[in-house]
Amino acid sequence: MKRLLPFVILLISVFSCKNETKPEIQEDTELKELFSLMQGSFNSEIQAQIDSSYYNISLHMYPIWEDKGNFLYVEQALTSTPEKPYRQRIYEVNRESDSTFSSAIYKLDVDSIWVGKWKTPKAFDSIALKNISLKEGCDVILKRIRPNHFMGKTGDNTCSSTMRGASFARSEVEILEDKVISWDRGFDADGNYVWGAEKSGYIFNKID
């Protein structure tokens, strides 16, 4: 009987290991919700029709590198000249803390070859993270207000900008189920407004 005891213990150990279940990785449903809301094609046509001080701008945000995380290719242009976008970026969306999310912003090394590639996101499989550069201090930090509603902004003066004499840029963003509201403004070193919408943000209604 004494000789059988180690063998019995070994069998119990083997069966115990087989019956153990691996812990499930819990899906971050709120992050998934935010990332989903940001995807699609939008424009500010309705706002431009109501207020002539706003342009009709197209905004396209589509997922790329789906096996690497939550990345979006972002392209903005006047709707009248879609072949000449004035902004092309890659966003990386992540959870920042228990209550906040971040949207990091990257610049492409060569913008021109990616114009219109929101239509074929798989084209970005040909480049890697090393081919883009992070815009330090320009992350948008977002909070979930309620289901399908997020709000956030950059730091007040952390995102450097040299556009039109600016020293830094500031962005405020609101993301909803049917629209994205974005208010980008530039300020000089003394904090004086130098560019961007004066009254409030652009309202981009989802069209796709």
Instruction: Render 109-160 in DSSP notation, one character per residue.
Output: S-SGGGTTGGG-GGGGGGS-GGGEEE-TT-PEEEEEEETTEEEEE--SS-EE
Using a CB cutoff of 8 Å and minimum separation of 24, what contacts does 167-173 make? 169/138, 169/196, 171/138, 171/140, 172/201, 173/103, 173/140, 173/142, 173/201
- 3-class DSSP state for residue 195? strand
What is the CATH number that goes with domain 26-206?
Answer: 2.40.128.590
Q: Taking the complete model, does pTM exceed 0.75, yes or no?
A: yes
Mean pLDDT of the chain: 90
Check residue 24 and give its pLDDT. 54
Q: Is the pLDDT of residue 26 over 90?
A: no
pLDDT confidence tier of residue 25, bands split at 50, 70 and 90: low
